[in-house]
Amino acid sequence: MTPDSAPRTYSISELSRMFEVTPRTIRFYEQEGLLEPQRRGQTRIYHDKDRVRLKLTLRGKRLGFSLAEIREVIELYDALPDGNARQLRRLLELLAEKRANLQRQEEDIRLMRKELDDVEGRCREALLALAENAEG
Amino acid sequence: MTPDSAPRTYSISELSRMFEVTPRTIRFYEQEGLLEPQRRGQTRIYHDKDRVRLKLTLRGKRLGFSLAEIREVIELYDALPDGNARQLRRLLELLAEKRANLQRQEEDIRLMRKELDDVEGRCREALLALAENAEG
DNA sequence: CCGCGAGTTGACGTTAACGTAAATCGCCGA
DNA sequence: TCGGCGATTTACGTTAACGTCAACTCGCGG
């Protein structure tokens, strides 16, 4: 029997390598309220919770959300178990917004793919034309 | 018989209303090489080609592409019919990059949806708990 | 005791993508 | 002829999201 798996921790440079961001970025996210690492002396110690938050944050960024938006969701989520009804409704509102956003993005992706297909088609035609001229 | 449909044109304010962006934004995109309107005197005149480009640009933006990235695609696309092989291959490269990007975004969207579902579930639970306490 | 590497703390710099404001121009209707 | 409206130019301002750099501290191996 293995004992309760030791709650792993991470240094800032470890996290920074895991996600390919700089330590500066990680500290900046903390300053913006997205991470809340422990301290040992003045040194930051990150737990899995922080790692997950960082992952979510970066994913949110790739999807075009601002750090402020991401923070609002995280804050409301953290206050969730004992949140008041107003906060909870606000969170549901936010979630609906994000969903709508995702849906539009999916549509945008679909359209963009079509355009890429079109461009690629023309591009390959042009290449073929070049080849024929060279050979003919 | 209607004559050949008159090639429609747009003023800057017209375009700005159509896409809900400011005239400043449209001029800025021109300055960045994304639009090339005609001029009558000093006034800009936009054709359908410009409208389409603007639409593509805004879609690109919603998908997180920078104006510089978008411009590169547009430039290569414009030089397409008589582009040399090097340009054409470069364009294919770019297209592949964009595709990869879109694919990752789709995956991000999928994961994000799961998280939203999870958060929403907990949120509704919390609301129910509140309701019961109020009633019991 | 010394230096080294990892980490921290300010503080100022930078880039993208516009916003904003002031001065000017051209046309059109009263 | 004059005023107003729409458009333009120029230039400086702003915001988000970090980058960069300098000065410091801390723990550790030699």
How far from B21 is each of A28, A106, B36, B57, CA to CA, in Å? 31, 22, 17, 12
Instruction: Give mean pLDDT, residues A36-64.
Output: 97
A126:B81 CB<8 A? yes
pLDDT band at residue A2, thresholds of 50, 70 and 90? very low
pLDDT for residue B83: 81
Is A31 part of any domain?
A: yes
pLDDT at residue A4 greater than cutoff 60: no
pLDDT for residue B5: 55
pLDDT for residue B3: 47
Nearest CA in chain B to A57: B112
pLDDT at residue A123 greater than cutoff 60: yes
Is A16 part of any domain?
A: yes
Please count the structural domains in chain A: 1
* Better-scored residue on pLDDT, A22 or B85: A22
Is A29 part of any domain?
A: yes
Is A102 part of any domain?
A: no
pLDDT at residue A5 greater than cutoff 70: no
Is A92 part of any domain?
A: no
What single DSSP character describes residue B9? E
* Better-scored residue on pLDDT, A26 or A6: A26
Protein-to-nucleotide distance from the CA of B48 to the C1' of C9, whole angstroms: 54
Closest to A56 measured CA to CA, from A71, A40, A37: A71
Q: Which domain holds residue B29?
A: 8-65
pLDDT for residue B2: 43
B92:A56 CB<8 A? no
Domain CATH for A44: 1.10.1660.10
pLDDT at residue A92 greater than cutoff 90: yes
Which residues of chain B are modeled with pLDDT < 50? 2-4
Strand D positions with any atom < 7 Å from protein CB? 6-9, 16-21, 25-27
pLDDT at residue A99 greater than cutoff 90: yes
Is A131 part of any domain?
A: no
pLDDT at residue A136 greater than cutoff 80: no
Find which nucleotide's C1' atom is closest to A69's CA: D16
Protein-to-nucleotide distance from the CA of A43 to the C1' of C4, whole angstroms: 18
Protein-to-nucleotide distance from the CA of A33 to the C1' of D18, whole angstroms: 15
Q: What rounded mean pLDDT belongs to chain A? A: 92
Label each residue of chain A as H, E or C.
CCCCCCCCEECHHHHHHHHCCCHHHHHHHHHCCCCCCEEECCEEEEEHHHHHHHHHHHHHHHCCCCHHHHHHHHHHHHCCCCCCHHHHHHHHHHHHHHHHHHHHHHHHHHHHHHHHHHHHHHHHHHHHHHHHHHHC
pLDDT for residue B30: 98
pLDDT for residue A82: 81
Is B56 part of any domain?
A: yes
Is A100 part of any domain?
A: no
